[in-house]
Amino acid sequence: MKPLIQKLTETFSPSGYETAIREAIRAEVEALADEIRTDPLGSLIVRKGTKGKNGKRIMIAAHMDEIGLIATHVDDNGFVRFAGIGGIRPQALTGSRVRFVNGVPGVIGTDRLADLTKAPALEQCFIDVGASSKKDCPVKVGDVCGFERPFLDLGGRLVAKSMDDRIGCAVAIEALRALKETPNEVYFVFTTQEEVGVRGATASAFGVDPDVGLAVDVTGTGDTPKGSKMEVGLGKGPAVKVKDAGMLADPRVVEWMIRTAEKAKIPYQREVLEGGSTDARAIQLTRAGVPAGCLSIPTRYVHTPSEMVDYSDVQNAVKLLAALLSKPVNI
């Protein structure tokens, strides 16, 4: 999977600009799909199987977009001020390299800070694209950029700038590849604009109208020095979400996931995430309501240019997702 993960994470596609990553994913899944289409908000919808007598229509959502920045002002010296697209952590910005949709590269700097012990606010940050004046700056207000950082293979651990949620996309692709037959009608949906309010999943869930829904997304960890008080850690298996800030997972879905993992002897963790949510929230609230949950990939340094996952967690997530989809769902 490592070449696939590198390909997906190094593809540039912030929220609202998912064309490049959609085409990269389409190239991977087209030969595996029974049906493939793109909806009006740009989400890629891939169907596998038909709904049998005891089958269900299942939606698997992994978002394609990544966090980014949008230019809000260019000053007389050609420095670009910006706002965030999605949740941006200012403490991780200084010195980061970015690339705009039009190909222009740049580096993030900050104003002189009175207190170097505190992270700068976003309004104290700027992007330097090497311009000397507003006139020769190749960036205009409204131009969008994403972080530029190469994929890093540390053996058992992998680092990249958009594991959130290209690692979920990779898990979905590999589960689709492993799913030789299923009694269910499974829709693998690679969604847009999750980072700005689960917008793509909101529309695609309405269109798919699933019986059951699962998001595949990252979650934080509590295994770093003086880190969050959280049970999830790298290398202990994928996590079964019980709750996050946006949803309570359906207990029947949680039980289905845990039962399947234990039967297949796949390691797993139980997850309660106090901040953040996923496409599962949108699926859960679509139409008259859908039983929904989330398969989470433990990830360190979420929403920074260097997000880290454990390769065994990723592989076990593929095994668990394929096992969940290959049998009738009784919930």
Q: What is the CATH number of the domain that holds 132?
A: 2.40.30.40
Do 111 and 258 have their domain in common?
no
Of 23-27, 54-58, 214-218, 310-314, the one with minimum mean pLDDT is 54-58
In terms of residue numbers, what domain contains 116?
Answer: 68-147
| pLDDT tens digits, 124-164 | 999 999 999 999 999 999 999 999 999 999 999 999 999 99
| pLDDT tens digits, 267-308 | 999 999 999 999 999 999 999 999 999 999 999 999 999 999
CB atoms within 10 A of CB 55: 18
30 vs 35: CA distance, rounded Å: 8
Do 85 and 137 have their domain in common?
yes
pTM attached to this predicted model: 0.95
- On whether the CB atoms of residues 269 and 298 are closer than 8 A, the answer is yes
Q: Kindly give the pairing relationship between strand 35-38 and strand 185-191.
A: unpaired
Taking phi over 0 as left and psi of -120 to 50 as alpha, with beta for the rest, 281 belongs to alpha
Do 129 and 208 have their domain in common?
no
Catalytic residue of the set 194, 195, 271, 307 = 194
Judge whether 30 lies within some domain.
yes
| pLDDT tens digits, 47-86 | 999 988 889 999 999 999 999 999 999 999 999 999 999 9
Do 52 and 104 have their domain in common?
no
pLDDT band at 115 (very low <50, low <70, confident <90, very high): confident
- On whether the CB atoms of residues 301 and 281 are closer than 8 A, the answer is no
Residue 194 designated active-site = yes
- On whether the CB atoms of residues 30 and 39 are closer than 8 A, the answer is no
Do 121 and 174 have their domain in common?
no
| pLDDT tens digits, 157-216 | 999 999 999 999 999 999 999 998 999 999 999 999 999 999 999 999 999 999 999 999
Task: Give me the pLDDT at residue 117, please.
Answer: 80
Task: Give me the pLDDT at residue 227, please.
Answer: 83
Judge whether 153 lies within some domain.
no
Do 249 and 218 have their domain in common?
yes
- On whether the CB atoms of residues 86 and 68 are closer than 8 A, the answer is yes
